[in-house]
Structure 1
Amino acid sequence: MRRLEGRFLIHSAVLDEVRRSVLEWDTASFSVGQFKERFGLTRKLAIPILEWLDSERVTRRRGSERIILRPGSGA
């Protein structure tokens, strides 16, 4: 289990699946709205997961979008 933002407990396997799915997404960047729609999440939960992805260097926030940092992409 991982604690996000000090209030959400999320199973590590779920976060691993989100990471895998983001890295396989056929886009270079996405908005919070696109992320919410793809994973069926509310903004309240999507933002902590996106911040976790940023901290894990899977994504990087640029303005209102997230850039996917794929290995070897040089992003």
Structure 2
Amino acid sequence: METYHGSDLQRKFSEFQRQAQHEPVEITCHGRCEFVLMSAEHYDWQKAASQRAHKTADASPVVIDAIEKAEMDAASC
């Protein structure tokens, strides 16, 4: 992801729009990410993906046990 300072946003907005069609563009202020410009298609994909994500707390005990066992098995390698 490309990173630009917030002061560049107004001057180079059309450039950022073109770039955001291919990948998200990070806009910073004082070295911290303040905004991310992305295509509507990418935003829709991320929104749908977040709705498909499941919380571990919602998982059944069998699934949680399997995850814990897999983590322990991987640690012993």
Q: Scaled by the length of structure 1, what TM-score is found?
A: 0.25
Which has the bigger relative contact order, CA under 8 A and spacing at least 6? 1
Q: Scaled by the length of structure 2, what TM-score is found?
A: 0.25
Structure richer in helix, relative to its length? 2
